Structure 1
Amino acid sequence: MNPIDLPSEEFSYSHEAECSVLGAVLSVGPDAYDAVNLTADMFFQPLHQTLWTELEKLVLAGKHVGVVELMESMRGADVNWGYVQGLKGSYLSIRAARGHAKIVRDYAQARALKAAARAVVEVAADESISIEQRVGQSVAALEGVIEEKAERDVLPVGDFAADFIDRLQAMADGDLVPARATGIPTLDRLLSGGLRDEQLVIVAARPSVGKSSFAQQLALSSARDGVPAAFFGMEMTSRELTNRTVANLGRVRLSGLKNGKLEGQEWDRVTEGVEGMRGLPLYLYDQPAMTLAEVASKARRVVRKHGVKLIVVDYLQLMKGSGARVDRRVELEEITRGSKQLAKQLGITVMLLSQLNREVEKRTNPRPVMSDLKECGAIEEDADVIMAMWTHQKGGEGEADIKGCAILKNRDGQTGEVALHFDGPYQRWSESTESLHAPKKAASQYGGGL
Structure 2
Amino acid sequence: MNDNTKYLAAAAKLDDYFHDGKAQTVARDSQAQGYVPLPEDPHQERVVRSQPLTQSRSLPWSVEAEQSVIGSLLIDPDAISRVVERQLVAQHFFDLRHRCAMSAIFELAAQRKPVDVVTVFAHLSAQGKGDDCGGIQYLDDVASSVPSASRVGAYADIVIEKALHRSIINAADKALTIAWEPGEAGAALDKVASLFATIKRSRSASSPVRLGELVVNRLDHWQSLAAGDTLPGVPTGLASLDDALGGGIKPGKVIVLAARPSVGKTSLAGQISLSVASQGHTVLMLSQEMPAGDLVDRAVANLGAVNLDHLTTGNFENEDWSHVTEAAEAASKIPFYVDDQPALTLLDIRAKARQVQQRDGLVLLVVDYLQLCSSPGKFDKRHHQIEEISRGMKTLAKELGICVMVLSQLNRESDKDEPELVHLKESGAIEEDADVVIMLHPMGNESDGGLLVLAKIPKNRQGRRGRLALSLHGKTQQWRQSVGNVARRPKREFTS
| Residue identity matched to 2:207 | R
C-alpha distance 246-175 of structure 1, shift in aligned 2 (>3 A): same
Q: 1:142 to 1:264 in 2, by over 3 A?
A: same
- Determine which of 398, 417, 439 is the counterpart of 1:388: 439
C-alpha deviation, 1:148, in angstroms = 7.4
Asked if the contact 2:171–2:196 (Cα under 8 Å) also holds between the matched residues in 1, the reply is no
Offset at residue 223 of structure 1 (A): 1.1
Is the counterpart of residue 113 in structure 1 residue 179 in structure 2?
yes
Letter in 1 for 2:439: A
Going from structure 1 to structure 2, the CA distance change for 1:253 and 1:166 (only over 3 Å counts) comes to same
Secondary structure of 1:320's partner? coil
Deviation digits for residues 162-215 of structure 1 (CA, Å, limit 9, x no counterpart): 212112122233443331111111111111111111001000000000000000
> Does the C-alpha gap of structure 1 residues 268 and 104 become closer, same or farther in structure 2, counting only changes over 3 Å?
closer
Residue in structure 2 matched with residue 316 of structure 1 by the alignment: 370
Deviation at 1:6, TM superposition (A): 11
Q: Residue 429 of structure 1 aligns with which residue?
A: 479
Indicate the SS of the match to 1:344.
helix
Secondary structure of the structure 2 residue equivalent to 1:437: coil
Q: Structure 1 residues 301 and 148 mapped into 2: Cα distance closer, same or farther (>3 Å)?
A: closer
Q: Which has the higher contact order (CA 8 A, sep 6+)?
A: 1
CA distance in 1, matches of 2:370, 2:275: 22
Q: Larger deviation: 187-196 or 347-356?
A: 187-196
Question: What letter matches 2:389 in structure 1?
Answer: I
Query: Is it true that 1:419 corresponds to 2:474 in the alignment?
Result: no
Q: Deviations over 1:423-450 (max 9, x none)?
A: 001000010011112879x99823xxxx
2:450 to 390, 400, 405: 400
Asked if the contact 2:179/2:188 (under 8 Å) is kept, the reply is no
Contact 2:231 2:247 in 1 (8 A): no
2:395 is aligned to 341
Q: Which secondary structure state, in structure 1, belongs to the residue aligned with residue 297 of structure 2? A: helix
Residues 79-115 of structure 1, C-alpha deviation per residue, up to 9 Å, x if partnerless? xxxxxxxxxxxxxxxxxxxxxxxx9998665322344
The unaligned stretches of length 5 or more in structure 2 are: 1-36, 41-45, 56-95, 97-168, 200-204
8 Å contact from structure 2 (residues 443, 494) kept in 1:
no
Aligned equivalent of 1:354, options 399, 408, 415: 408
Indicate which of 424, 429, 445 corresponds to 1:378. 429
Unaligned runs of 5+ in 1: 15-34, 36-102, 124-136
In structure 1, distance between residues paired with 2:322 and 2:266? 27
Offset of residue 362 of structure 1: 2.4
Question: What TM-score do the two structures reach when normalised by structure 1?
Answer: 0.68
Change (3 A) 1:289 1:173: same
Cα 1:350/1:141, change in 2 over 3 Å:
same
Relative distance call for 1:263 and 1:195 in structure 2 (3 A) is same
Moved more, 166-175 or 243-252: 166-175
Deviations 1:126-169 (A, max 9, x none): xxxxxxxxxxx5741432554678442452x3333321211212
Mapping of residues 36-435 of structure 1, within 5 Å: 109-115=175-181, 119-120=184-185, 139-144=189-194, 146=196, 150-153=205-208, 155=210, 157-363=211-417, 367-394=418-445, 399-435=449-485
Deviation sequence 1:303-331 (CA, Å, 0-9, x none): 11111201111000000124334311111
User: What TM-score results when the alignment is normalised by the length of structure 2?
Assistant: 0.62
CA 178–259 in structure 1, closer or farther in 2 if over 3 Å, else same: same
Aligned-pair identity in percent equals 36
Question: Match of 2:230, as an amino acid?
Answer: L
- Go from structure 1 to structure 2 and tell me whether the alpha carbon gap of 1:399 and 1:7 turns closer, same or farther (over 3 Å shift): farther
How many residues are matched?
336
Quick check: 2:171–2:195 contact (8 Å CA) kept in 1?
no
Please tell me whether the aligned partners of residues 12 and 111 of structure 1 are also in contact (alpha carbons under 8 angstroms): no
RMSD of Structure 2 on Structure 1 (CA): 3.1
Residues 174 and 252 of structure 1, relative CA distance in 2, 3 Å threshold: same
Q: Which amino acid in the other structure matches residue 176 of structure 2?
A: A
Q: For 1:380, give the aligned amino acid.
A: E
The structure 1 segments of at least 4 consecutive aligned residues displaced by more than 6 Å after TM superposition are 4-8, 10-14, 103-106
Aligned AA for 1:243? D
Which residue identity does 1:182 align to in structure 2? T
Q: Is the contact between residue 288 and residue 344 of structure 2 (CA under 8 Å) also seen in structure 1?
A: yes
**Aligned AA (1:152):** S
CA contact (8 A) 1:112 1:145 kept: no
8 Å contact kept, 1:291–1:322: yes
Q: 1:404 to 1:104 in 2, by over 3 A?
A: closer
Q: Is the 8 A contact 1:421 1:431 kept in 2?
A: yes
Task: Say which SS state the counterpart of residue 278 (structure 1) adopts.
Answer: helix
Amino acid at match of 1:198: G
